[in-house]
């Protein structure tokens, strides 16, 4: 199989490429990635001689058309992904997430190539705390931020291209990922690297907001299951029953790193901050038999902390600029 991976130099995409090279030697991987601030060649360095990396933008229709024509399937991760950046400047989100997905769709339509589109649970908006309600495939879209609105728009384009043009696509909406190679702007790596650089971790608001955590390798195993056995036109929700408040995740990180669990700062809350995300993954489990392997969150967090300790050369060059930007925003 010749597989085109968009955004393969980012967090989830790079882990996907590593796992694919490791576990599926029959798959020929080409990555297209614009190598924005969020993508790096270093994330693919361990597999560099086993894949082809094309530096390019997914809105470059001619380039995308050429790469799609050479592929049997496309897994589409490329996107602008950080909510705080979207609040500060939404323009790149419309460009990459909406126009980028449109460009990929037009190419797979022309060449009849199978597409899996990677999306987020944030398209469903948020849920009240302490309620049994969780997101399912039938939950109406209700995005809150410019990020989730552009991801929702991209999902809608995929659905329309399936129905109107018969494009062979599936969609997955996953909860919050953690693991190696995640950019230090995101919650868990930011706090780990704050401790490692002698800074105090920063919690938005009271920390009562709940996220549903999944290890990135479990997400990527689900993507492979859907790519091989998913029903065309279907949306699958991916989650691992990992609901936790931000406060409890932060206190666990501090404890695992040998710090006082109260040694952090409360900072300005995020505008429009979604309260709670929670995925009901039963359709994926029942129909495709997928189960998460990383069911011990604390063990996964410990391994992630270890990875950041051992790979300072990967994140250190990014850290000061990220913190300077947060400081400007009072966060």
Which residues are part of the catalytic machinery? 121-122, 147
Both tokens of 86, joined, read: 């979207």
- With contacts defined by CB under 6 A, name the span among 161-169, 202-210, 252-260, 278-286 that binds ligand TDX: 202-210
The neighbour count for residue 293, using CB atoms within 10 Å, is 11
Residue 183 contact, options ligand NAD, ligand TDX, none, Cβ 5-8 Å cut-off depending on partner type: ligand NAD
Binding to ligand NAD by residue 36, rule CB under 6 A? yes
Per DSSP, the three-state class of 96 is: helix
Residue 54, judged by CB atoms within 10 A of its CB (0-12, 13-18, 19+), counts as: middle
How far is it, in rounded angstroms, from Cα 218 to Cα 294?
7
Binding to ligand NAD by residue 7, rule CB under 6 A? yes
Of the residues 6, 20, 246, 304, which one makes contact with ligand TDX according to CB under 6 A: 246
CB of 274 to ligand TDX, least distance (A): 7
Residue 209 contact, options ligand TDX, ligand NAD, none, Cβ 5-8 Å cut-off depending on partner type: ligand TDX
Angle among Cα 15, 16, 20 to the nearest 5 degrees reads 115
How far is it, in rounded angstroms, from Cα 211 to Cα 277?
5
Binding to ligand TDX by residue 176, rule CB under 6 A? yes
The neighbour count for residue 311, using CB atoms within 10 Å, is 13
Q: Residue 207 or 233: which CB sits closer to ligand TDX? A: 207
Beta strands in 42-141, from DSSP E residues, in sequence order: 52-55, 73-76, 114-120
CB of 263 to ligand NAD, least distance (A): 26
Per DSSP, the three-state class of 84 is: helix
How far is it, in rounded angstroms, from Cα 266 to Cα 190?
14
Binding to ligand NAD by residue 58, rule CB under 6 A? yes
Per DSSP, the three-state class of 217 is: helix
- With contacts defined by CB under 6 A, name the span among 30-38, 132-140, 251-259, 308-316 that binds ligand NAD: 30-38
Q: Which of residues 14-73 bind ligand TDX (CB under 6 A)?
A: none
Phi, psi of 290 (to 5 degrees): -75, 140
Per DSSP, the three-state class of 279 is: strand
Q: Which of residues 87-116 bind ligand NAD (CB under 6 A)?
A: 96, 100
Give just the sign of the alpha carbon dihedral 207, 190, 18, 33.
positive
Site string for ligand NAD, 122-161 (x = CB under 6 A): -----------------------------x----------
Which residues here bind ligand TDX, judged by CB under 6 A? 81-83, 120, 122, 176, 186-187, 190, 202-204, 209, 211, 246, 270
Which residues here bind ligand NAD, judged by CB under 6 A? 7, 9-13, 33-36, 38-39, 57-59, 77-81, 96, 100, 118, 120, 151, 174, 176-177, 183
């Amino acid at each position: 199989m010749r597989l085109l991976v968009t955004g393969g130099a980012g967090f989830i995409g790079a882990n996907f490429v590593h796992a694919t090279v490791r576990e599926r030697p029959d798959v020929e991987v080409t990555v297209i990635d614009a190598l924005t601030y969020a993508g790096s060649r270093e994330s693919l360095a361990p597999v560099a001689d086993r894949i082809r990396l094309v530096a390019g933008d997914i809105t470059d229709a001619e380039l995308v058309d050429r790469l799609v024509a050479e592929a049997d399937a496309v897994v589409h991760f490329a996107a602008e992904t950080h909510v705080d950046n979207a609040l500060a400047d939404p323009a790149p989100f419309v460009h990459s997430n909406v126009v980028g997905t449109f460009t990929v769709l037009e190419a797979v339509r022309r060449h009849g190539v199978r597409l899996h589109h990677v999306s987020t649970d944030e398209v469903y908006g948020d849920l009240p705390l302490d309620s049994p309600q969780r997101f399912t495939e039938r939950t109406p879209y209700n995005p809150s931020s410019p990020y989730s609105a552009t991801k929702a728009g991209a999902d809608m384009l995929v659905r329309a291209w399936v129905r109107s043009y018969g494009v062979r696509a599936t969609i997955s909406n996953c909860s919050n990922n953690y693991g190696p190679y995640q950019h230090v702007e995101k919650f868990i790596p930011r706090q780990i690297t704050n401790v490692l650089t002698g800074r105090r971790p920063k919690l938005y608001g009271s920390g009562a907001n709940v996220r549903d955590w999944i290890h990135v390798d479990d997400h990527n195993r689900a993507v492979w299951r859907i790519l091989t056995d998913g029903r065309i036109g279907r949306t699958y929700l991916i989650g691992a029953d990992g609901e936790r408040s931000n406060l409890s995740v932060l206190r666990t990180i501090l404890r695992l790193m040998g710090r006082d669990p109260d040694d952090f700062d409360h900072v300005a809350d995020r505008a429009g901050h979604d309260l709670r995300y929670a995925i009901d993954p039963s359709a994926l489990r029942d129909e495709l038999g997928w189960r998460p392997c990383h069911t011990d969150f604390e063990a996964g967090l410990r391994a992630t902390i270890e990875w950041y300790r051992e790979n300072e050369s990967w994140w250190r060059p990014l850290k000061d600029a990220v913190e300077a930007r947060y400081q400007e925003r009072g966060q």
